[in-house]
Chains A and B, each alone.
Chain A
Amino acid sequence: MGRPPLVVVFVAILVIALGELGGAVLSQLRPATARWAAARVAANPQAHGLTGAAEYDETVRAQAVFATEAGLSFFHTHAEGTGLVLFFAATLVASLVRRRATRAALYALLTMGALFPLGYLVYAFAVLRLGRDAGVEFAEAWVLTPLGSSAILGLIGLAVVLASPRGAPEVPAGR
């Protein structure tokens, strides 16, 4: 099987490593993370619409902390997955796509797509800074949607090339 360029391999390994590290940090520092997130909410009352009513504020704080923890948890799971997707898809590109320009375009799209989990880190921090709804919207609009779309386009592109009789060399049956 062909090997993709080193920069693509580097991004794949780095994303997997960050995913592993994120999982370990989340598991070991969960109480500290929750405390820190709650403190950030309290320090930013306007963005979170805190009113001073203890019961209401506690609900808002709990929802924001939950969203932050969910963002960190999604970062861990998605980074493990997208790093592997980049590794295997880029290996297919290196092995089966003939045209250099097409290969370069697919590498670029797939590599950008592998960075998709970073959107969940942005999500976790933006929720605390901008409030839950505005933070989620920010992460979705500026990071998750563009990088996710890049991954989808890259995979569709690879599928189109593989389906096209002129795009990829014949893969011997049974190998």
Chain B
Amino acid sequence: MESWRLPPRAVLLAAVLLLVTAEIGGASMSRYKLELARWARTGMLAHPAVHGLVGVRDVDEQALDEALFRFDTGLRLFHMHAEGMALVVLATTTVAATLARTTVTRRALIVLLTVGGVGYPLGYLIWSALIPSYGVERGKAIAEWLVWIPFGGATIVALLWLAALTAARMLRR
């Protein structure tokens, strides 16, 4: 029976820590829902121009509700993506550790999969954190260029590379 080779311990640790962070994030969202909403609202009120607040209660409440909804969405997406990506890191680095023959390829794949997989979900957390000060769209643009595109791009490139490598091994047999 052919067997799997485990990826380096640091990779396993990173994946497990991401899982722990995701679980804690989910629990905190539920336990500290009010406190988080209050913190975000205070931040939004401190930056009225960013959120288009005009001082008219009816108009402002609608804008604040919309921004708070996105703040909450960012936290939820962090929770979900962190859980998923931790498992993706575990599975794909195991495949890379087992099937990549040369040390350089193996290392490059494992680094891209780990850094990309662990970094990507943090973008949602950063987006949420930026919303009170920078607004929904500006916060999203910052998270996109700072985290989602580089880390998500690394993961996609590494996954396509890994799929091609697996296909090549399959055809060579």
Q: Which residues of A contact B (CB under 8 A)?
A: 1-3, 6-7, 9-10, 12-14, 16-17, 20-21, 23-24, 27, 80-81, 83-84, 87-88, 91, 94-95
A17 touches which of B3, B87, B163 (Cβ 8 Å): B163
Residue numbers of B with Cβ under 8 A of A are 1-4, 84, 87-88, 91-92, 95, 98-99, 148, 152-153, 155-156, 159-160, 162-163, 166-167, 169-170, 173
Q: How far is A21 from B162 in the complex, measured between Cα atoms in Å? A: 14
Besides A1-B4, A2-B1, A81-B84, 7 other CB < 8 A contacts? A2-B3, A6-B169, A13-B95, A13-B163, A14-B163, A17-B160, A84-B84
Residues of B within 8 A of A10 (CB): 163, 166-167, 170
> How many residue pairs at the A-B interface have CB separations less than 8 Å?
66
B162 touches A13 (CB 8 A): yes
Q: Nearest Cβ in chain A — how far from B162, in angstroms?
A: 5
Contact sample, A vs B, 27 pairs, CB 8 Å cutoff: A1-B3, A1-B4, A2-B3, A2-B4, A3-B98, A6-B166, A6-B169, A6-B170, A10-B166, A10-B170, A13-B92, A13-B163, A14-B163, A16-B88, A16-B92, A17-B156, A17-B159, A17-B160, A17-B162, A20-B155, A21-B156, A24-B152, A27-B148, A87-B91, A88-B91, A91-B4, A94-B1
CA distance A20 to B2 in the complex (A): 28
Q: How far is the CB of B5 from chain A (nearest CB, A)?
A: 9
Establish whether residues B169 and A20, one from each chain, have CB atoms under 8 Å apart when the complex forms: no
Q: Are B99 and A9 interface neighbours, CB within 8 A?
A: yes
Other-chain contact of B84, A7, A14, A27, A80 (Cβ < 8 Å):
A80
| Nearest CB of A to B19, in Å | 13
- Min CB gap B9→A, angstroms: 16
Min CB distance B30 to A, Å, is 21
- CA separation between A24 and B166, bound complex, in Å? 23
6 tightest A-B CB contacts, nearest first: A17-B159, A6-B170, A10-B166, A87-B91, A3-B2, A13-B163
Shortest CB distance A10–B (Å): 4
A81 to B92, CA, bound (A): 13
